[in-house]
Structure 1
Amino acid sequence: MKKIITFLAIAGLFTLQSCTTSGSFEIDPLPVATSEVFEVNASFNSTNNYSRLVTLNPRIYSSDVVLVYRLTGITPQGSDIWKLLPETHYFADGTLDFGFDYDYTTTDVSIFMIGNNLQTVSTDYRLNQVLRIVITPAGFSTAIDKNNINAVMSALNVDKSQIKKIDL
């Protein structure tokens, strides 16, 4: 029995030993995921079916997470107020009036309005909406308050000068 185990161990060593050549062997590194922030000014109306498609280049890795924020106002001190999508607005009786939502693929982000009668939504909510698309790499901390765009940008080490404007 000892001879069989010894034989199998030696055979295993030869089998698992890799072949080498006179050249060096290198593994191509994986692309380094970086954080990116894009800003888009979009209007939502019946002509565009209350949606905007934002094509991104370079593509989004399948492990990335995309966050979309909408500029909803300015504080008395002059700071921007951003809301993380999805964002919903309700009638007084608790039924859905309208909202904003999004989905994404590896090449684009689709931002759209939802609701029963979007034509009746105030133009303050439909026209000239400023949106920020934040691409976070895999492994982005779950401890960050994603509702706070400033905390997200700080954690990603992205400042306002690095925001890329996209014209639709």
Structure 2
Amino acid sequence: MKKIVLLVVSAFILFSCEGPQGPQGPPGYDGGLIVSSAFEIVIDFNASNNYEFVEPYGFDVYPSDVTLVYILWDTANGQDIWRPLPQFIEFNDNSSLIYNFDFTQNDVRFFLEGSTDFSTLDPLWTQNQVFRVVVVPADNVDNVDVNSLDAVTEAYQIDHFNLK
């Protein structure tokens, strides 16, 4: 019995000791924003740029980050209407136009594709096209409606888009 009491008392003394406090560790992930960057760009698509445009980010993008792109589709009652890319348009002659994008860790490429002859498109479809680009950590995308620019900007606390 003496050995058990001695063992319990020793364990109590050993585990109640406290040493000097160590250095503060790096900040932890608390479920909030890790990193998110955004910009707005206006693009003219034409034959001289092969109906595409490549834009370097101008900030660090990590291999696991995801790029989201939205096009200014319309304005109603003074409110901008943004749609996520890709966006598909079918014309009366059954030809199609698709606003699309792809991205790397270094840049994002905006381009037109589809069955229509791009050179015959009204400038409404090719000139002064406004895009918003948001780069978010892949770990943070799951709980956000990425089809809504408003939801994305709210979730990542983006209050402005730098114009490029």
TM range (shorter): 0.7 to 0.9
In 2, the alpha carbon distance for the partners of 1:83 and 1:102 equals 13
Tell me the equivalent position of 1:35: 36
- Confirm or deny that 1:164 pairs with 2:162: yes
Q: Answer yes or no: is the 8 Å Cα contact 1:88–1:99 preserved in 2.
A: yes
Question: Bigger radius of gyration, 1 or 2?
Answer: 2
SS of 1:47 mapped into structure 2: helix
Tell me the equivalent position of 1:99: 98
Task: Write the deviation string for residues 61-88 of structure 1: whole angstroms up to 9, x where unpaired.
Answer: 1111100011011112x11100100011
Moved over 3 A (4+): none
**Number of residue pairs the alignment of both structures matches:** 138
Tell me the equivalent position of 2:131: 131
Structure 2 regions of 5+ residues with no counterpart?
1-21, 28-32
In 2, the alpha carbon distance for the partners of 1:28 and 1:141 equals 23
Tell me the equivalent position of 2:113: 114
In 1, the alpha carbon distance for the partners of 2:26 and 2:142 equals 29
In 1, the alpha carbon distance for the partners of 2:84 and 2:121 equals 19
Percentage of identical aligned residues: 33
1:157 counterpart letter in structure 2: Q
Pairwise CA RMSD of aligned residues? 2.5
In 1, the alpha carbon distance for the partners of 2:125 and 2:110 equals 13
Structure 1 regions of 5+ residues with no counterpart?
1-23
- Distance apart, 1:59 and its partner CA: 3.0
In 1, the alpha carbon distance for the partners of 2:43 and 2:118 equals 15
1:38 counterpart letter in structure 2: F
In 2, the alpha carbon distance for the partners of 1:96 and 1:62 equals 36
Q: Answer yes or no: is the 8 Å Cα contact 1:98–1:121 preserved in 2.
A: no
- Distance apart, 1:28 and its partner CA: 9.0
SS of 1:159 mapped into structure 2: coil
